[in-house]
Structure 1
Amino acid sequence: MQEINWTRTDLIDETEEVVQHQTKQQKEKLDDSEGVLFEEFNENRVKVTKVTVSKEGSEEIGKKEGQYITLTVPSLNIDDLEGMEQLEKAFLKYIEEIHKDIKFTKDSKVLVIGLGNKTITPDAIGPFTIDAMQARQLEEHVDQFILYAPGVTGQTGFETSDFVHALTEKIKPVLVLAIDALATRGTSRLCKTIQITNTGIHPGSGVGNQRTEISKEVLGVPVTAIGVPTVVDATVIIADAVDKVFRSIAKKVQEKNKPSGKLAVTSWTSDSEDEEIDYEVIRPIFGEWSTWSKAERRQLFEEVLLSNSQRLIVTPKEVDIWMTKYATLISNCLFQWIDEKVN
């Protein structure tokens, strides 16, 4: 099949995942380069992925040199207070860790930029967070934060990076925090993940609307990007659905002659995606493509629909509630973090 450059994700571990599922030679090349340090572990229900990318690793996986920390609660749902509390605790811990080398004083200023379009809910996490922080700043009289939601280029006619650059030159902050909505390559990540990275950000890159980057190289001060994945390409949903169907049928065929299968009284529900499944058992039913990897089937849908004018970007129906929850979470954590840093 034609090689596709997968750009519709802003999550570093999804990029790493694609590399790991490519050819054996490519994976060995990545390992030999020693350019990507990949750690993955759980803290209660929060899955933590820490990726450190060197200059060599940047060329291999197409992500900027620096640190990336991804926090995910796979089972998170809209009413899951415990899950949000654990995610908030983890976010506070790692926002401190990624800034441990920056020295703060009571006079230090942190410029917080809320990227995105407030009139389009899936893209409004940045402006929503600025609103939440402004309300709290009025109550608590915190002087360290300078808050700004610049809108998008389509509204202002100017590059967002130019606004931020001008503010940075005027304010002289020790740090710029850029908050934005992200795109993901997995439906299981939608509104269940926060990514923190000290590499800056390209606004709109996940949906093919890449603008001038906001980074230390451009602004001259450290830039940390905080993102929440709120949209996914519709082709990903198709690929995920097909994969789930294939896994379910293959599992049922494998269990058919086992005693445990004969004892089942309810329909089978798919186990963890990490479970090994022998897709060869369904080849006679669906043909060769059923044995392809998930990434290969996804690439097939991408190729077929690449020139389709009706390609869709999809978001959860409860996205307005999720945006409010994440705006509150990020706001609370940033105020608690800065209070601990300067007091």
Structure 2
Amino acid sequence: MAEVNWSRTDLIDEADEVVAHQTKQQKEKLKDSNGVLIEEIKENRVKITKVIVDKQGQEEIGKKEGTYITLSVPTLNIDDDIGFKQLEAAFMKYLNDIHKGITLGEDDKVLVIGLGNKTITPDAVGPFAIDSMQIEQLDHPNEHLIMYAPGVTGQTGFETSDFVHALTEKIKPALVIVIDALATRGSDRLCKTIQITNTGIHPGSGVGNQRAEISKEVLGVPVTAIGIPTVVDATVIIADAVEKVFRSIAAKIHEKDKPSRKLSVTSWQPDPNERIDFSVLKPIFGEWSTWSQNDRLQLFQEVLSSHPERLIVTPKEVDIWINKYSYLISSGLFKWVNKTAK
């Protein structure tokens, strides 16, 4: 099938060009281009992907020049206090990393903007983070921080970027930090990742409702965007489910004659990291069962693109996730500002 970028994602490490670097050939191509630097490390359970794109790299992969950092805990769940502590520690560390050229003078201000619709839970991480910061501000006042949640264009009738631009003109902050919900193209990334970037943000771009850009080029001051992926296109869920079904059936076909399989006394599940030959499924399901997961995803996108209702999916415990991330971001920003201010 022809390569078509159907998937909606705001995460740099899910962009087709960056995902492709995982192959040896593409790694060499990106390395030789000298326009994209990709660093992947793991600290405790947190997987960190740092992507630095320069002007040449911007043309190479179609992503804006700047630094992108994603922090992921694939095994995170809502009751995982240790996982959240490790994620917060990484968040603090890479806030320092992405702002290493910024110091706050005695009178410098940091304007924190919480984007999103507070009445729609998956989109409310920005406003909820502002609420959490305002509570913290009452208990432990910080004169460097100014926070505001402008709502969305559908509520106010004004472009969100116009509000932010007006505040920036009035306050003249040394830094603008924007918090927003993001879209992902992987269901296993939902509410388990934080992305930090100094390239600014296009509100609504991940769900096809792109508004005016909020960036240094527009505001005239450095802009850092912090995002949490809270939604995924329904077709991604379908593709993931089909992939798991095919993987399970193919693995069972390969395992059926092994003695160890007959000795199993519990429900057997295939190793998710094991390489499985899907060709055994061709006589059962046909040619499409041997396609890559991305090709099947494109098929679903093409078939369902004319459907009158394009569904966006979010976890059922999204309200709990939003509250936890609101506190994590609020706590991290207060600690970072206190540490950075002279």
Smaller-chain TM-score bracket: over 0.9
Amino acid corresponding to residue 283 of structure 2 in structure 1:
P
CA contact (8 A) 2:78 2:321 kept: yes
Task: Point out the more displaced range, 23-32 or 284-293.
Answer: 23-32
Shift of 1:21: 8.2
TM-score (norm 1): 0.94
The corresponding residue for 1:39 is 39
The corresponding residue for 2:252 is 252
Q: How does 1:96-245 map to 2 (within 5 A)?
A: 96-245=96-245
Cα distance in 1, alignment partners of residues 230 and 177 from structure 2: 19
Segments of structure 1 that go 5 or more residues without pairing to the other structure are none
Cα distance in 2, alignment partners of residues 139 and 336 from structure 1: 14
Task: Point out the more displaced range, 161-170 or 114-123.
Answer: 161-170
The corresponding residue for 1:277 is 276
CA contact (8 A) 2:199 2:223 kept: yes
Residues 62-81 of structure 1: CA distance to partner in whole angstroms, max 9, x if unpaired? 32111111011111111111
Shift of 1:11: 0.4
Residues 137-187 of structure 1: CA distance to partner in whole angstroms, max 9, x if unpaired? 111111111101111111111111111111111111111000000000000
SS at match of 2:15: helix
Amino acid corresponding to residue 179 of structure 2 in structure 1:
I
Segments of structure 2 that go 5 or more residues without pairing to the other structure are none
Cα distance in 2, alignment partners of residues 49 and 25 from structure 1: 19
Residues 268-318 of structure 1: CA distance to partner in whole angstroms, max 9, x if unpaired? 22423x432211122222111111111111111001001111220011111
Shift of 1:19: 4.9
The corresponding residue for 1:303 is 302
Cα distance in 2, alignment partners of residues 173 and 23 from structure 1: 42
Shift of 1:246: 0.9
Cα distance in 2, alignment partners of residues 129 and 211 from structure 1: 21
Amino acid corresponding to residue 312 of structure 2 in structure 1:
I
Residues 51-93 of structure 1: CA distance to partner in whole angstroms, max 9, x if unpaired? 1112232233332111111011111111111111111111011
Cα distance in 2, alignment partners of residues 248 and 31 from structure 1: 36
SS at match of 1:77: coil
Cα distance in 2, alignment partners of residues 28 and 289 from structure 1: 31
The corresponding residue for 2:261 is 261
- Aligned positions, number: 342
CA contact (8 A) 2:30 2:37 kept: no
The corresponding residue for 2:91 is 91
Cα distance in 2, alignment partners of residues 209 and 35 from structure 1: 29
Shift of 1:29: 5.3
Amino acid corresponding to residue 131 of structure 1 in structure 2:
D
Cα distance in 1, alignment partners of residues 54 and 289 from structure 2: 37
Shift of 1:106: 2.5
Cα distance in 1, alignment partners of residues 196 and 311 from structure 2: 27
CA contact (8 A) 1:19 1:61 kept: no
CA contact (8 A) 2:7 2:185 kept: no
Q: How does 1:17-36 map to 2 (within 5 A)?
A: 19-20=19-20, 30=30, 32-36=32-36
Shift of 1:260: 2.6
RMSD: 2.0
CA contact (8 A) 1:7 1:208 kept: no
Stretches of 4+ aligned residues off by more than 4 angstroms: 16-19, 21-32
SS at match of 1:191: coil
Amino acid corresponding to residue 228 of structure 1 in structure 2:
I
The corresponding residue for 1:331 is 330
Shift of 1:2: 5.2
Cα distance in 2, alignment partners of residues 88 and 24 from structure 1: 32
Shift of 1:263: 2.4
SS at match of 1:265: coil
* CA distance 1:16–1:100, shift in 2 (3 Å): farther
SS at match of 1:196: strand
Shift of 1:14: 0.5
Cα distance in 2, alignment partners of residues 155 and 46 from structure 1: 37
CA contact (8 A) 1:161 1:214 kept: yes
SS at match of 2:122: helix
Amino acid corresponding to residue 338 of structure 1 in structure 2:
V
Amino acid corresponding to residue 239 of structure 2 in structure 1:
A
